Amino acid sequence: MSLGFKKILKKFLIWRFQYISDKQFINISSAVIGLLAGISAVILKNSTHYIQLLLEGEIIRDLHHAFYFIFPVIGLAIVYIIKKYFIRKKMGHGIPITLFSISKLKGVIPSYQMWSSLITAPFTVGFGGSAGLEGPIVATGAALGSNYARLMHLNQTTKTLLIGAAAAGVFSSIFQAPIAAIVFAVEIFSLELTMVSMIPILLASITAVLTSYFFFGDDILLHFEILDKFHLNDVIFYIFLGVFSAIASIYFSKVYFKIGAFFRDFKGFHKRLMFGGILLGVMVYLIPPLFGEGYSTVNNILRGDISKVISNNIFHFQADNVIIVVAFLIGLILFKVVATSLTFGAGGVGGVFAPTLFTGSVTGYVFALIINSSNLFDHQLSTANFAMAGMGGLMAGILQAPLTAIFLIAEITGGYQLFVPLMIVSAISYLITKMYIPHNIYTAELAKKGQLITHDKDKKVLLLMDIDKVIETNFIKIHPKMNLGDIVQKAVIKSTRNHFPVVNDDNEFLGILMLDDIRNIMFEQKLYKKMKAHSLMQIAPAIIDYDKDSMETIMEKFKETVAWNLPVIKDGKYYGFISKSRLLTSYRRKLINVTA
């Protein structure tokens, strides 16, 4: 940052504090963030679709089908080069990284995240990586919100709010669904939905969707028009679709987690790139609908134009055979998650939102097709309506965001005629999936480490608390072989504390010596050389592990032991103490800050 810019910024901030209230500035900032998020979404979407149109349209179809195998590998190799030689920093998945920054980094997101996904995601997805753009663009928008807040010297609560506003903005811009975008920000990022927080998110969502309309007009990702109304006779089938969607969601999540764990065991990144890239290339070559985001396949399914989906492969299947159609579509459901997982495992940058919608549309369509072609039911279902409901069901199951699923599909369809079916399918899919998959794809790793923010206010406050601010280190340490005389002269007299950590030569914690333990003998000079610290100390009721224990665990240890002070170890060594009074004071301050 240049000296001239710093002077201008300082003058602007002084002027802002004098003439613009905090509430007004937050609202203005939200609109600015929405504009930036909308422009970022336009750039990412346009660049990706241009690459995909160029490769799939003018090269693959005009030259040779074998490029379906080659391009994903090339795209992943380009991403690897960009990461290693240009970014040179660790890049994680967009939404998990954002959630981690909110919970553990006080909303601070590195500045390179503002542009890194804009460069790498188009090469991943445009060259055929089976992933979506929503995760990368959310990471970009969140980084914009975070760095804007830091630049304007806004506090942590406002910073988190602007991150949520940016996420709503990019979601609104991509799908042109401003209401669903607000629900998405609240549901995924666990924001408090109050009038204070809703207005900034609403402003960002509106600004971003207007930006999208300015550049794209009415051109949206998913093209759908309701032709068949909802009938009460269809309710039982929507209930079955909810169960069917839950099964697909559980399968998707488990396969995703297992393949991700498999690739984490690879020591060399080159091996991950080659192994994952080649397998992905083979899959895309055999099943071209797995190429890229897959929205063209989704739109064909919504239009009922299944022949384009079925025939686009080296086998040239025909859509007139129901068994072949059903088998092929089930294959798409089974292999889409494998292709997505391989994309990430090989180092690609993308998200799971588009694969979720892809899998959901196929799930709903194939369910309706099975019912329609079966002799067991004298009933015809709308394949398009069930495809849309299936998208809602998979979103509710895989992403565990049922409200986002309901409102997104409702906005995409241009009305609320499918609202009841969406509620049925989404609720059933979510409830069943939640029983087997406690946390969604975005939050599983964070939940495992105790770093996940939820709508539980108590847990949220504990998670946002900084353990370093409650640890006290100004205690005089005692060696276990110190005699009573040395303890009195070198520790008790010089300390304002009433307890002392006992440690060995390697600074390993052994126990606590309380002032109350020696009060009745501390003036007995005849005992000064006889009594040793190891015989006077007591075992700590519990020990806090700096590296492993979350604030929730720490609070629980105080509750179970009824202790007022507990020792802290770090890397196996004594580090300090946490007092209950300091912990509760810090909790109260953070609670006021969070609910402000």
CATH at residue 432 = 1.10.3080.10
Apex 387 CA angle, 385 and 391, nearest 5: 115
Tell me if 246 is assigned to some domain. yes
CB 180 within 8 A of CB 171: yes
Tokens of 196: 């204070």
The answer to the question of residue 237 being in a domain is yes
179: in domain: yes
Question: How far is residue 370's CA from residue 322's CA, in Å, rounded to a whole number?
Answer: 9
Query: Is there a domain that residue 119 lies in?
Result: yes
- How far apart, in whole angstroms, are the C-alpha atoms of residue 46 and residue 174? 11
What local confidence, expressed as pLDDT, does residue 423 receive?
Answer: 92
Does 221 fall in a domain? no
Provide the domain limits for residue 45. 3-216
Query: Is 387 within a domain?
Result: yes
Residues 132 and 271 in one domain: no
Do 347 and 302 belong to one domain? Answer: yes
Return the ∠ at Cα 261 (arms to 256 and 266), rounded to 5°.
Answer: 130
Last residue of a domain, one of 452, 467, 483: 452
Same domain, 331 and 241: yes
Residue 169: partners with Cβ closer than 8 Å, 6 or more residues away: 33, 34, 36, 37, 38, 41, 141, 181, 204, 205, 207, 208
Q: What is the pLDDT of residue 59?
A: 64
- Verify that 133 and 260 share a domain, yes or no: no
Q: Could you tell me if 414 and 472 lie in one domain? A: no
Statement to judge: residues 463 and 446 lie in one domain? no
| Bridge partners (DSSP) listed for residue 351 | 132
Q: Please tell me the distance from the alpha carbon of residue 236 to that of residue 63, in angstroms, as a whole number.
A: 48
Q: Give yes or no: residues 246 and 147 share one domain.
A: no
Per the structure block, which two tokens stand in for 190? 């666990």
Which residue shows structure tokens 């939102």? Answer: 353
Domain boundary among 424, 452, 480: 452
Q: 50 and 84 share a domain?
A: yes
d(CA 399, CA 36): 26
Stretches where the chain sits below pLDDT 50 are none
Q: Are 161 and 25 in contact (CB under 8 A)?
A: no
Last residue of one domain, picked from the residues 189, 216, 243: 216
Q: Which long-range contacts (CB under 8 A, 24 or more apart) does 323-332 make?
A: 325/369, 326/366, 326/369, 326/370, 326/373, 329/362, 329/365, 329/366, 329/369, 330/366, 331/287, 332/287, 332/289, 332/290, 332/297, 332/358, 332/359, 332/362
Q: Is 135 exposed, middle or buried (0-12, 13-18, 19+ CB in 10 A)?
A: buried
Distance, in Å, from the CA atom of 262 to the CA atom of 471, rounded to the nearest integer, reads: 38
CA atoms lying within 13 Å on the CB side of residue 482: 24
Q: Checking phi first, is residue 48 left (phi over 0); if not, alpha (psi -120 to 50) or beta?
A: alpha
Evaluate whether residue 439 is within a structural domain: yes
Cα 329 to Cα 362: distance, rounded to the nearest angstrom? 6
Which pLDDT score is estimated for 333?
92
- What DSSP designation does 53 have? I
CB-based contacts of 256: which residues, under 8 Å, 6+ apart?
337, 340, 341, 352, 441
β-pairing verdict for 544-545 and 565-570: parallel
Whether 210 and 243 share a structural domain: no
Total structural domains within the chain: 3
Same domain, 77 and 113: yes
* Cβ–Cβ < 8 Å for 298, 98: no
Is 223 among the domain residues?
Answer: no
- Asked whether residue 343 falls in the same domain as residue 399, the answer is yes
Q: Are residues 208 and 319 in the same domain?
A: no
Give the global pTM. 0.79
Domain containing residue 563: CATH number: 3.10.580.10
